[in-house]
Amino acid sequence: MKLKEKVEFLINELETIYPKLDIPLNHKDPYTLLIAVLLSAQSTDKKVNEITPLLFKKADNPYDMIKLSVDQIRNIIKPVGLSPAKSKGIWGLSKILIEKHEGEVPNNLEDLEYLPAVGHKTASVVISQAFGIPAFPVDTHIHRLMYRWGLSNGKNVVQTERDAKRIFPKDKWNGLHLRIIYYGREFSPARGWDINNDIITKTIGRKSIINKLI
């Protein structure tokens, strides 16, 4: 199967399986999405969605957030893990948003990546899902599947993102990145993987991987 055929099959299959998309992290605006995505690092969406209502009840905007101390924030978010760094990041980025952006979340990668505790992936998620700007955030699921599907060499997430942006149509990036994540979680996980349930990998995946599993 040629690359163009692989891409067409992949997009059609994913849009059939997931015709409607919901952002898995509960939020109401760009600021609360930014905080939720930051908290999701090395945690689960489920755990983050349990914690954010508690945090946002006290502060759902940067002005209220800096009224809390870093320790107060840390005590609330502790269950999601990495709370010392995340609490400092949340307080610090809230202060910068007030000082440099009139309390608003910027809609460009450069300004977002400047914020404490906000890396390229987090910034990409925010501009794509909060502002609708095309981006292709790569998490572990996408990195794994791009390699399994023979669409990237799997060296690192930077290369995987570059390959994804080169291969897929730009107008599909925002939805496709979510659909690949959902598919990876449901049908093509890192552990307990059953190739017979994974129609996409079975159809377009690397032969070297498939032959080991069938």
Per-residue pLDDT reduced to its tens digit, 132-188:
999 999 998 999 999 999 999 978 999 999 999 999 999 999 999 999 999 999 999
Q: Is the distance from CB of 147 to CB of 153 less than 8 angstroms?
A: yes
Predicted local distance difference test score (pLDDT) of residue 1? 83
Please give the average per-residue pLDDT across 118-134, as a whole number: 96
Q: Does domain 30-129 sit in CATH 1.10.340.30?
A: yes
The residues spanned by each domain of the chain are 3-21+137-213, 30-129
Confidence check: pLDDT of 207 > 90: no
Band the pLDDT of 64: cuts 50, 70, 90: very high
**Alpha-carbon distance values, 150 to 35, 89, 106 (Å):** 34, 37, 35
pLDDT in tens, 82-95: 999 999 999 999 99
Kindly list the catalytic residues: 121, 139
Confidence check: pLDDT of 58 > 90: yes
Same fold flag, 3-21+137-213 and 30-129: no
Segments of 71-139 assigned E as strands: none
How many Å apart are CA 106 and CA 111, to the nearest integer?
6
Confidence check: pLDDT of 214 > 70: no
Confidence check: pLDDT of 76 > 70: yes
Please give the average per-residue pLDDT across 44-60, as a whole number: 96
pLDDT in tens, 95-104: 999 999 999 9
How many Å apart are CA 94 and CA 116, to the nearest integer?
9
Confidence check: pLDDT of 114 > 80: yes
Output the CATH code of domain 3-21+137-213.
1.10.1670.10
Predicted local distance difference test score (pLDDT) of residue 206? 87
Q: Is the dihedral of CA 97, 98, 100, 103 positive or negative?
A: positive
